[in-house]
Each structure stands twice: as C-alpha cells, then as structure tokens.
Structure 1
Amino acid sequence: MSPRDALTVRPVRFTHDVPRWQTVLTAMGAVLLDEQPGRLVYQLAAGRLALHAASESRPAGTTTLALETTVPLAEAVAAAAAEGVAIELGHGEHGPTGLVRATDGTVLTLDPATPNPRRLVAGEPCVSVMPVWSTPDARVAVDVLDGLGLRRRVTQEDGSWADLTARRGGLHGVHPLGEVGAGLAFELEGDVATLHRALTAAGVPAELDDGGPARTLRFADPDGGAPLPVAERQPDLYGYALSEM
C-alpha cells in the first residue's frame, strides 16, 4: 500500500471532562477503539479523535495535530521526507512517532494506526473529524499536509480556507490567520439538524447557524471554550475551487 493511501486524520484533544466528550462522541455515532490510561481513541464515520487527560503542559481545550498510518512508520516517514517534509523518527509519550516541525512552529505527529481488531465502524450521523491548522502562511501548511499524503479537496477562492482529505478517513482544514494555532471542527454529510437533535437529547447545548457559506451546528465545548462547529457538507461548492492555494 502506498503511504498516501494509508493515512487517517486523528487529532488529539486534551480534556478535563472525558465523560462529557464521550457523551458528545456517542451522539455523533463514534465508537471507542482503544482505551489506555489517560487516553481514549474514537472512530468517527470519517477519521478518528483521541481524548487525552489534560496536564499543566497541555491544558484542557488544547488540540494537537496528528495523523495515523497503516504502513510501517519508518516507511511513511521516509516517504514524507522524500516529499520535502521536515520529519524525523522519534519517540512520543505513547511510542514511536514521526515528528513534523513546520516552519511556522507547528508540531504535527505521524503515528502508527490504532488497532481495530473487531472492525468497529461508526454509526449515524455521518460525521468527519476536521482539525484546523491556523497559520499566517497557509501555503506552508497545505504543502506539509500534501507532502504527508493528504489530498487537496477544496480552496476558497478568496484564499480564506482550504481543506484536505485522507484516503482512510478524516478532513484537515487550513485557515490563514495572523497567529499560529490548532483547533477542532467537524463536518457532517447530511442534515446537521439530525445531530442537533441527538446532542440536545443527550443534554449537550447546541445551536444551528444558517448564516455563512455552510449551515453549521455549534455545540458547547466540554472544556469550556468557544462552541465547536460541525459544518454541513455543501453539495454546491459556490465560492470554492478545486485548485491549489
């Protein structure tokens, strides 16, 4: 298998309220793949999300960028390096990892895939995870993600947004902003009102927003930050282009 075909988007969310996040993810149809002390990995319809216990160095509400690969890690790292990505093999908190340090200071990890021996699949609604890399230099971010093996999906014609997709699931957004950062968002294929009903039934505050280019649901962040968005996938990509930034 080509390293480009072996990727899954799997950001890490550091939290002080794992039970609340579990409620949110269950409403999204996600299933638990792996549970380790202080760390859970959930499978969504597209992509995965790791929940990690917050710490002094990683306070609640922090999101870090990460991908998983099903090919041997050394092979995936070598393939990314051959594409010009500044990546090296290292050892993270949970084992071997490919460590990427982008020129804007962003750190991203490439990790071995979380095992799924029972072949668990997420249920309805069809939710994709979508971490967002914010940076003053969006081209750098897009080039790094492309070099790692993600495929460019759409770019907003005014340059204010781009996203990429992983062959084995998940999306990755790039948002040009003055400050570097990482955030968490989701996309739903279908009617976001379906998820709105599921979240509110589970006791999670959520609101629908019909303004902007895409209908969006925003639900209360279990870690007390700004509401987190779930965008409804647009069948009509007006204002977007299938082209590079």
Structure 2
Amino acid sequence: MKDKPMLRVRPLHYTSNIGSWERLLTALGLVLAEGDGGFRVYDAGAGRLALHEVPAGAAEDGTTALAVEVGDLAEFGRRTNLAAQDEGTTPAELVTESHGEACRITGPDGFTFLADKAATVDGDTGADPALAVVGVWFTEDADAAARTLRHIGARPRPVPDNDETADFTAKNGGVLLVRPASGPPRSGLGFEYDGGLAPLRDRLTAAGLEATLTEEAFGSTLHVANPDAAGPGAPSVPATVWISQHRPMG
C-alpha cells in the first residue's frame, strides 16, 4: 500500500489585531515563515498558522477557518473521494479561490474547509519543537466529521474516554480535533504542548502576556488572553486562547 500523501494542519485566523497576535505567537515559539503586512504564515514545531488581517468589526474578525496544506491538490482530492466511495459521497472538489487553486472538503454536516497547495518547509524552522497547532471541528455529527478526517488522511490517535470526541494528527504536522457541539458546525483554534506548561506560562508572562494555568479532567491547560477579545466582536470571541498539555496514552 502506498504511503498517504502530504497533510499539514494550517488554520487561517482572521484578526484586526495582527500585531498583538504576532507578539503572542512569537512568545509561544512560532516563527514567521512567509508574508508580511496583512497576511502572514507562522511555523510551529508541528503545523502552521496563517493570519489574515481584516478591519475591526468585520464579520470575520476573531474567527478561525479550518484549513490544511497538501502536496498535490488533484491527487489529494482523488484519494479523499476514493476513501469515501463506500459511503457514496465525494467530499473533495477542486475549486478556484481568490488566492488560487484549492480543494474544498465538505462534511456530511455541511461544514467546509480548504486544502491549499503546501509551501516547502526546509529542515529546522527555529520554532519550538514541542508546540503543535490544533484545528477544531465543532459539530452535532461528530462521527461523520471523524470519518471525513479519516478520508483526507488524518491519523486517528487514542482519546482518554469513550465519548464522541475524536483526535487526529497530520502526517506533516499539527493536530485535528472533533468536538460535539450544538448549533451550526464551526471551527476553532488552539495549541498543544509536549512538555511542562509552567515554563511556557513563565515565558508568556515574561513577554507581558496574561496567562493562567488550570488543571482539567484529562490534563493541564494554559489559557492566554485572546488578542481579539477586546474588539467589537468580543461577545462571540473566546476570552482566551488555549494550549493543552500533550499526554500520550499509555
């Protein structure tokens, strides 16, 4: 069996506070990889994050679009649809977006996200190797969302309980999570850290950022003030950005 094609997590976050986000990402250990001004892409130890500047109060301000990067768009789409053929669906479609060619994936719940042609990442980027970018798919149909992520080549990993959550890793970096939620499907953004969170908290506070460490059901989570929470869209924007501690299943 041939190896699965390239897949890397790369959410797109819209913000009117791009400077504040750059300060947060730099303190977390991400490194600017491409772009400047209103569009920037940052490398983490695993996965990437793109920032897209929008005017304050824009509908997208403070929101994140789930997205991935792949090596060959046509081959990615073909393999995704082949994997889904037993369900009689073709979730992948090649499309032309404002930024160029892409592949659009549509889940059974109507949620869509893009796969873009990957940029080359050569060797050590200088990013903190313990930090991973996490893209989240919130949906009322968690089982179907999980199947779609399997179809695109995401790798399932064990979860600490038997609820409707599902965790995946991408071959070329990053984490994808499915979480049950009421209402229309939507995406979310977070990070995962393979190491102690207390030193990371200290690094963030030394950079002048407000960070709080909490103990939760299945591990520790670090909460950092969200740069977008003070904007016009504050009621619908999470107050914090979370970084969970990675704890491999024994």
Q: Structure 1 length normalisation: TM-score?
A: 0.89
Which has the higher mean CA deviation after the structures are superposed, 52-61 or 101-110? 52-61
Q: Is 1:18 aligned with 2:22?
A: no
Indicate the SS of the match to 1:26: helix
Partners of 2:249 and 2:151 in 1: CA distance? 28
Partners of 1:197 and 1:156 in 2: CA distance? 28
Match of 1:129 in 2: 133
- Residues 122-149 of structure 1 show CA distances to partners (whole Å, capped at 9, x for unaligned) of 4336110111111011011111111001
Q: Is 1:219 aligned with 2:224?
A: yes
Indicate the SS of the match to 1:141: helix
- Residues 176-235 of structure 1 show CA distances to partners (whole Å, capped at 9, x for unaligned) of 111222111111000011211111111111100023211110001111132111011114
Q: Is 1:163 aligned with 2:176?
A: no
Which has the higher mean CA deviation after the structures are superposed, 120-129 or 78-87? 120-129
2:166 counterpart letter in structure 1 = A
Q: Is 1:233 aligned with 2:246?
A: yes
Partners of 1:125 and 1:199 in 2: CA distance? 17
Indicate the SS of the match to 1:155: coil
Partners of 2:198 and 2:126 in 1: CA distance? 19
> Displacement, 1:156?
4.1
Partners of 1:13 and 1:190 in 2: CA distance? 25
Spell out the pairing of 1:67-216 with structure 2 (5 A cutoff): 67-70=68-71, 72-84=72-84, 85-116=90-121, 119-124=123-128, 126-179=130-183, 180-216=185-221
Instruction: Sort the Cα spacing of 1:165 and 1:35 in 2 relative to 1 into closer, same or farther, 3 A.
Output: same
Match of 2:27 in 1: 27
Gapped regions of structure 2 (runs ≥ 5) = 85-89, 230-237
Instruction: Sort the Cα spacing of 1:28 and 1:67 in 2 relative to 1 into closer, same or farther, 3 A.
Output: same
What is the CA RMSD across the aligned residues, in angstroms?
Answer: 2.0
Partners of 2:5 and 2:95 in 1: CA distance? 22
Gapped regions of structure 1 (runs ≥ 5) = 238-245
> Displacement, 1:47?
0.3
Which has the higher mean CA deviation after the structures are superposed, 181-190 or 31-40? 31-40
> Displacement, 1:5?
4.0
* 2:101–2:116 CA contact under 8 A, matched in 1: yes
Match of 1:62 in 2: 63
> Displacement, 1:93?
2.3
> Displacement, 1:39?
1.3
Percent of counterpart pairs with the same letter? 34
Q: Is 1:44 aligned with 2:44?
A: yes
Indicate the SS of the match to 2:145: helix
* 2:160–2:218 CA contact under 8 A, matched in 1: no
